[in-house]
Structure 1
Amino acid sequence: MLVRKEWQLNQADPQEGSVLERILAIRGIHRPDDKERFLQGGLAHLHDPLRLPDMRPALERLSQARRLNEPVLIHGDYDADGLTATALLVNVLRQLGMDIHTYIPDRMTDGYGLSPSSLDFARESGCSLMVTVDCGISNRNEISQIRQMGIDVIVTDHHACPEVLPDTLAVINPHREDSDYPFEGLAGVGVACKLAQAFCQFEQESPLWQSHLDLVALGTVADVVPLLDENRILVRMGLSALNTQPSCGLDALLRVVNLKQREISGQTLGYVLAPRMNAAGRLGRADLALSLLLSSDPRESEQLAVALNELNTQRQKVEGELVEAAVSMIEADPQWMTRPVLIASGDDWHQGVLGIVAARLSEKYARPVIVLSRDGDDYQGSGRSWGRFDLLAALKRSDRYLSQYGGHRKAAGLRLACADLPAFYQVLSEAASELLPAEQARPIMTADVLLSPAEMTEALAEQLKPLAPFGEGNEQPVMMTRELVLDRVQPAGNGRHLRLSLSDLSGHHHFSAIGFGLGDADDWLRVSDRVDVLYHLEINVWQGRQSLQLNIRDIRLSQTGRLIDDRPWEIESTYEQTDDLVQTSRYHQIPVTDLIPDQVEYKAVYQYLSAQFAYQPILVDQSVLALRIARSYRLNLNMFRLARILHVFAEAGLLQLERIDSDRVRICLCEVANRVKLESSPSYLRLQLKGSE
């Protein structure tokens, strides 16, 4: 979709003080001690783990197991958070000489949490104590059955608590209503880390848990919990470990993905390591990922890392095939563009990648998407939200058709009978239309600070480094700079990305930039263009040398001061109200000739639509489409003239046209057997007449 993004400056910017102080103020950090903790907080700033509910009885039971050499079962989860939490506890407890066993459920056959397979494994393991990590809070019945086997259970979890907690000796969860813990945002591995921290203190042992903070960092970033408070400290310290003394398994994985010589950041964890951990669980091989995290043998670690990387490649292939199939299904529906939420379903679609497929589709279509796979008489799958839409709230309003569902506003899982899908879709669509009409949604990008070219320095980038690690709740600061000159534009990454050279209007300041995922902007950007940019200010290190680099988030042409270039939808709105070209011209003081398309433009628009979209329906902002066509054919086509052309084509039967607002339209070229004459359009004749006056 060709959709215009709205840019805005953060209204919380005090616009005084240093750039660093302004960004801290935007994040609500004002007091000197809060600034120090945020920028320099270390392990001494961690909260007392004994403030977590049920921590003391858990420690006493673990201590008994250690003293009596009881076998202990760690029940984990198949995602990166659950795997790192499992590895952390296993490593620490084994270092304390304990007999530790592990169980990771299979995503395909067991599903999330404790299952019948969990019960069977616990019964056969001979263990007298089970500790759950990243799961268990919603498994009251299963835990009751395990206790009836004579096995004690300690639950450590970070998910939302049900009204009735499992009846067991300890339920450690910062979300408990009776919790006195000052931070609720811990990941599953964070809760496991607090248990390990407390147990080392309780046993008066050295802080062995500190040797595994790389695992805590990986699991925390992977689970997309807020990188604030304790999470921020744990991830910062874990990144330090990854860059100096990573565990054997993660060291091998960094080598396999060719990142050993690069600085490891939160982005590395989130976009490189975490997907590989999750790929194992998605494809039913979580055991392989756990083995890598636990490995202390370099040769074994290398073999496991290679296998894990190959699994990720396989996951990408499966994901790509499902995205293609889902797109075909969605766009086969003639009304898909009118639907505020989209659903794609199929037989035997791989359950492990449905969530990530839904995420990709929600980005593609700019609306919520649910992807389902048939399982007998049921559909099971995942949904992803878009924008401000609360997916979980929408599911609650249609839950009479759901046998299972859960999640949060951004992502959810669900199960329903195949026969109920049409009725469910109707109710869900009604809820979605009410909560967020997708066709009216427009992406908004917010800049923290407006910088002049003189302020864009390597020194400033260095000053902002302590704001890292970046992630959920602590996003990397976005800067805005206006009126830069484009000196060079070059495609990169097989056309997916752009490399840019920019300068200020005086030519005194020059900048190198990279635009990841902005490859299609090469169609309309031209050397010497004046542009505005949204970007991250970064330090690029290459072959031992460092330099300033702008990581471009978005780019647009600078304003010209002419309404027809800068805000053409306002002119279109006037015309919609008056239906009078002359009156519109006079009101905005624009020559009528600037509002009437010529024959070359009619031809170019049709050729562009045919070549780019054929007979596929598209949702576009005419302002964006006009720029693409104008740059492709070296024309002065503006949005207003494009709108007239599309209207003429619709009247002549060349395309279907639906107006959403003064800028956004849905269009689809029609297949026509015979040559169409534009003279058959009344609007075309009126425009020609006005042009000849």
Structure 2
Amino acid sequence: MGFRKWKLPQADPERIKNLIQQTGIPEIAAQILDGRGVQDVSAYTAGAEGKMHDPFLMADMDKAVERLSRAVQEDEQIAVYGDYDCDGITATAMLYTYLEDLGARVIYYIPDRDKEGYGLNCQAIDFLKEQQVDLIVTVDNGISALAEADYAATVGIDLIITDHHQPRPELPKACAVVDPHRADDNYLFPCLCGAGVAFKLICAMEGDLSGEEMIWHFGELAAIATVADVVELTGENRLIVQKGLECITLGEQIGVKALIEVAGLDEKRLDSTSLAFGIAPRINAAGRLGQADLAMELLLSDRFSQAFELATELNSLNEHRKQLVDEIYSEIDRKIAQHPEILRERLIILYGKGWHHGVIGIAAARLVEEYAKPCILFSIEGEEARGSARSVEGYSMIDAISRCSQLLTRYGGHNQAAGLTVPTKDLKKFIDEILQDAKEHFDIMPVDQLNVDAVLSQQQLRLDTVQGMRILQPFGCGNEEPVVAMMGCRIETVTPLSENRHIRLKLAYQGKLFQAVYFRMPPEKFPFYPGDLVDVAANLDINEYNGEKNLSIKIKDVRLHGVNQEKLIVGKQYYEKYCRKEPLEDKIKNYICPQREDVAQIYRFLRQYKHFPYGYDLLWCRLGKINYCKMMICIDVMQELGLISVEHTASGPILRFPDKVAKTQLEQSSILRRLKVGE
């Protein structure tokens, strides 16, 4: 259980009071907006009555409409070329459906994740040529397909590219390249997802410049894609999701309706969280496991019985996906237990044979959450190692990978997530290079940060607080679901749930008792006891059951009350530098070199416990005033001299106090001798 840095809001009561007076918004909403530094409240909370931008403001949109309209009018064969993730699948379904409704001759093509990988490829172009395709329209891909665009031209296929990824300095040669991130683009909101760009193309084709008509036809799919692709939920994206949720309640998209029922959401209030965790993963599961066509069939279905059957298959795929992630994560836990030094590097980098490359990104995200460090996982598949990377705020994964790209056969992504492929023979060399790159750019690495939006009083633990938050919906990237904190709660009880997969805490806070659930926290990994004073960070929601409403508190993180997080983080990183044998200044060496009383303090503490199974971070928190790096060196010295033993397990290190301890002298420690200045 890694220590996450909490960023607490710098609340200003006067500013909050003024916000309430000026806007009439609830107190909790004002607290959250003040904590996020929002100046223009009306723009931030703009409702679905807002307007979308003219799609023709996008560069090349006029060219795309002209060429696509001509293809429809002249009965040319059109292929919509998509991608296998939720964004790409929904974008493909939208544009294919629209063109089919126009009476166009249209087919769709989604590359196989295992055999073809992401984006346009020449073999697919050859196949489409055999299908007598005259025009390919890409959705959610194509902006980097320079060679493939040239190849399409040589075989006589025209190309329209619609994408939302960052372009390279040179654009592909095509009839039109529509991407709001183009350097010469004047579009007013560049943060659309792939399906969002496809939606704007549909609006332009239809002459619906405000999007007010087309959103009622394609809002469900556009909203799901916008949430699934983790683009900023501000501006147009906010409108798309708001309108899309309204469309979903009407139930006209048969495939989405079937997914909602299979996911058990048909009797619940749907919001962006429902889309992110209920709908999108089931669509994504099809693409992750090489069955994207199954999701396409579902979204194109016009019979509920067929759609329900397909949705049930997707649900099974999603369960299989979860199982694959759990298996990979269990293997990762074993690797870390056998080689704990992995956690002392600036990045966590692991690889394995047989890891399904379609799900390793999910496992990487879990590692970042658990250990608060950037992470790259590789699946070794013969001569190729396919990787998925996740990062933390302050460390741009795509920039780091770009600087080390000479060994890569392909890569792409953004600051927080990226994909990459490297020849297996060069994998270890690439790992060395990216670790060296991190060393050159960061003496002290950024750590995963939890942004807390508001610190609540016990009076605010009630239903109307959640209602007040809801005016800020939809939540997602750029407008995250609020995280609130309760500081100084006393743990009353810890109750295991769901066969020890989760726990429920009963907490006392400022004289009030409440319960909270901590998902994916097994009891054996929870390092706190009844009686401990802790700070709790959580999301709030409302549970509705049998007509009764109750406050739902879902824990994001727990830490001992009063901990000095900056000292822990810095001390931990200096210990990692020490373990990596990186140079340390003499004054640092002197500061972290243990004295007899430091070792004695830890010895006495562990002797009380006999064994301590909760890891080093909590040991430091419970010990009190000692430098973290010095504490870890004390443990190394004590282990070297046989005063304690450390067992590395899948749940973390367990420190044990042996029954019999032979008398020994600290001067016998080679670790201490090496640390002493001048020796």
Checking the alignment, whether the CA contact within 8 Å between 1:647 and 1:683 is kept in structure 2 is no
Task: State the distance in 2 between where 1:98 and 1:199 align.
Answer: 13
Aligned counterpart, 2:322: 316
- Provide the secondary structure at the position in 2 that maps to 1:352: coil
Tell me, in whole angstroms, the C-alpha distance in 2 between the residues paired with 1:206 and 1:469: 19
Larger mean CA deviation between 56-65 and 86-95 belongs to 56-65
Per-residue deviation, 1:242: 2.1
Gaps of 5+ in 2: 19-26, 565-570, 573-587, 647-651, 669-679
1:97 Cα deviation (Å)?
Answer: 2.7
From 153, 162, 168, the counterpart of 2:168: 162
Q: Write out per-residue CA displacement over residues 354-376 of structure 1, whole angstroms, 9 at most, x where no aligned residue.
A: 33333333434433332223344
CA apart distance, 1:305: 0.8
Instruction: Determine if contact 2:232/2:479 at 8 Å carries over to the other structure.
Output: yes
Task: Classify 1:521/1:269 alpha carbon distance in 2 versus 1 (closer, same or farther; 3 Å).
Answer: farther
Tell me the amino acid that sits aligned with residue 10 of structure 1: P
Q: Which runs of 5+ in 1 are unaligned?
A: 562-567, 585-591, 613-617, 628-637, 658-665, 685-693
Inter-partner Cα distance in structure 1 for 2:460 and 2:138: 51
Query: Is it true that 1:303 corresponds to 2:309 in the alignment?
Result: yes
Amino acid in structure 1 at the alignment position of 2:545: W
**C-alpha deviations, 1:63-100, integer Å up to 9, x for none?**
22333333321111111000000111122222233332
- Which position in structure 1 is the counterpart of 2:579? none
Identity %: 34
Amino acid at match of 2:450: M
Task: Tell me if 1:241 matches 2:244.
Answer: no
CA contact (8 A) 1:648 1:678 kept: no
Deviation at 1:226, TM superposition (A): 1.0
Deviations along 1:113-144, one digit per CA (max 9) or x if unpaired, are 11123212321222322211001111122223
Judged with a 3 Å threshold, the aligned counterparts in structure 2 of structure 1 residues 152 and 441 are, in CA distance, closer, same or farther, namely closer
Q: Measured at CA, do residues 671 and 458 of structure 1 come closer, stay the same or move farther in structure 2, by a change above 3 Å?
A: closer
Could you tell me which of 185, 190, 200 is aligned with 2:196?
190
Going from structure 1 to structure 2, the CA distance change for 1:40 and 1:246 (only over 3 Å counts) comes to farther
Aligned equivalents of 1:344, 1:377: Cα separation in 2:
17
Report the Cα distance in structure 2 between the residues aligned to 1:205 and 1:596, rounded to whole angstroms.
Answer: 66
Q: Which residue pairs with 2:123 in the alignment?
A: 117
C-alpha contact 1:486 1:526 (8 A) present in aligned 2:
yes
Alignment partner, residue 680 of structure 1: 664
Q: Which amino acid aligns with 1:542?
A: Y
Of 197-206 and 395-404, deviating more is 197-206
| 1:296 aligned partner, one-letter code | D
Q: Using a 3 Å threshold, how does the CA distance of structure 1 residues 543 and 642 change in structure 2: closer, same or farther?
A: farther
Confirm or deny that 1:282 pairs with 2:291.
Answer: no
CA contact (8 A) 1:480 1:533 kept: yes
- Determine the C-alpha separation between the residues in 1 that align with 2:336 and 2:593: 38
Higher Cα Rg, which structure: 1
**Residue of structure 1 aligned with 2:258, choices 239, 248, 252:** 252
Contact (CA 8 Å) 1:342, 1:368: kept in 2 or not?
Answer: yes
- Name the amino acid aligned to 1:549: S
List per-residue Cα deviations over 1:604-637 (Å, max 9, x = no partner).
544345xx8xxxxx7645235769xxxxxxxxxx
Tell me if structure 1 keeps the 8 A contact 2:563–2:621.
Answer: no
Distance in 1 (CA, whole Å) between partners of 2:437 and 2:398 is 11
Equivalent-residue separation in structure 2 for 1:204 and 1:228 (angstroms): 17
* Aligned residue among 344, 347, 353 for 1:338: 344
Asked if 1:607 is matched to 2:611, the reply is: yes
Contact persistence 2:29–2:469 (CA under 8 A): yes
Q: Which letter maps to 1:476? A: E
Q: Which residue of 2 aligns with 1:687?
A: none
Cross-structure match for 2:8:
9
Q: 2:419, 2:135 → 1: CA distance?
A: 31
1:209 Cα deviation (Å)? 4.3
Q: Does 1:294 align with 2:296?
A: no
Q: Tell me the CA shift for residue 519 of structure 1.
A: 4.3
- Does residue 1:447 correspond to 2:443, yes or no? no
Alignment correspondent of 2:99: 93
Give the 3 Å change call, closer, same or farther, for CA 487–359 of structure 1 in structure 2: closer
Match of 1:474 among 468, 479, 491: 479
TM-score (norm 1): 0.81
Equivalent pair of 1:57/1:170 in contact (CA under 8 Å): yes
Matched ranges for 1:144-183 at <5 A: 144-183=150-189
Q: Distance in 2 between matches of 1:158 and 1:244?
A: 29
Does the Cα contact within 8 Å between 2:76 and 2:105 map onto a contact in 1? Answer: yes
Distance 2:102 2:80 in 1: 15
Using a 3 Å threshold, how does the CA distance of structure 1 residues 206 and 266 change in structure 2: closer, same or farther? closer
Please tell me the residue identity of whatever aligns with 2:100.
R
- TM-score normalised to the size of structure 2? 0.83
Q: Distance in 2 between matches of 1:486 and 1:538?
A: 21
* Deviation (angstroms), 1:503: 4.6
Q: State the match for 1:545 in structure 2.
A: 548
Q: Residue 478 of structure 1: CA displacement?
A: 2.0
User: Which residue is 1:460 aligned to?
Assistant: 465
SS of 1:184's equivalent in the other structure is coil
Of residues 385, 409, 414 in structure 2, which corresponds to 1:408?
Answer: 414
